[in-house]
Structure 1
Amino acid sequence: MAEITYVRGDATVPSGEGVKVIAHACNGIGGWGKGFVLALSRRWPEPEAAYRAWYRDRAHNDFGPGAVRLVRVEPRVWVANMVGQRGIRRGGQGVPVRYEAVDTALARLADEAVRLGASVHMPRIGCGLAGGKWSRVEPLVAGRPAQRGIAVTVYDHGEGGA
C-alpha cells in the first residue's frame, strides 16, 4: 500500500518522474468554468474539449456518476476527468459532491493508473466548489489508488490559486 503525500503546489505541474495522471472531479451537468478546471484549461485545452464532447454525446457513452475519461496532455502526463458531483453549488440544495461516485471513479482511476504504470496527482478532489469534506474523501483515495500501491500526491495550492 502506498502512502498519500501532501505537498504545497500546483497539481497541474505534477512532481516526480515517470508517467503521471492528474485527477479531478467534474460535475455531471456539462459545466466547466470554475475551480480547478480553470487551472487545467489555462495549461492545456484538451481536458475541457474532451469533457464537453463526452458530455454532449452522453446518450451514446458512459458519461455519468463515477465515470472516468483519461486525456493525454503531454507524452507522459494524462488528465483524468472524473464525474464525481451532481450539479453545482446553489443556495440550500446541499453539496454537489457524490461520495459514492468519487469512490467508483477512484476505483476506475486506479485501474487506469496501474495499466499506465502512473502515479496519481490531485487537488483535494470534491472538496472545493463541490462542497465535500476531505475527511470523507481521503479514505476513498487511500482505499482505491493508494491501496493498490499507486503513489498519490495531493496538492494544496497557495493563496490566490485555483
Structure 2
Amino acid sequence: MQGRLSTWLIKHGLVHRSLGFDYQGIETLQIKPEDWNSIAVILYVYGYNYLRAQCAYDVAPGGLLASVYHLTRIEYSIDQPEEICIKVFVPRGNPRIPSVFWVWKSADFQERESYDMLGIHYDTHPRLKRILMPESWIGWPLRKDYIAPNFFEIQDAH
C-alpha cells in the first residue's frame, strides 16, 4: 500500500521503496544512500521543512546499519502537520550516507551521535567527530557485534 508521498515520488520518477505505515499511520520510505542527498533537497522543497529526529540502529549482527529520519511538513493554519519517516540502509563494511546538515541544520548533533555510536560516516558533515565517547575510543558501542573492552576500575574502599 502506497501513501501520498510515495505516489508523488513515483509520479516524478524518484526511486524509493515503500515500507508501509507505522502504528500511527506515518508513511515509511526506504531511500538508497546515493539518492538520499537529492531526495532530501526535493523533500525540503516539497514542504518537509522540519527534521524532527534522526537516529540510527543496527539491523542485525553482521548485517546492515540503518539511518532513520523523521520529517515534518509544518505549514500555517494546519492543525495536523504531515509526517514522513525515511530509512537509509548501508553496509556495515563501508557505512557512508550523505549528510543532510546542509538541508536541515538540526541534523548536526543527531548525525554526530549516530556516527559516534554506530560508525556511520555522514559525508560532507562539517564537524563529524565523536560527541559522546572520547576521541580515543575504539569501536562503535551500539553495534550488535561490538565487544566491550575489559576495564579495571580502581574503586575507593571506604
Q: TM-score, normalised by structure 1?
A: 0.28
Which structure is higher in RCO with an 8 Å CA cutoff and minimum separation 6?
A: 1
> Between Structure 1 and Structure 2, whose CA radius of gyration is higher?
2
TM-score by length of 2: 0.29
Query: Between Structure 1 and Structure 2, which shows a larger proportion of helix residues?
Result: 1
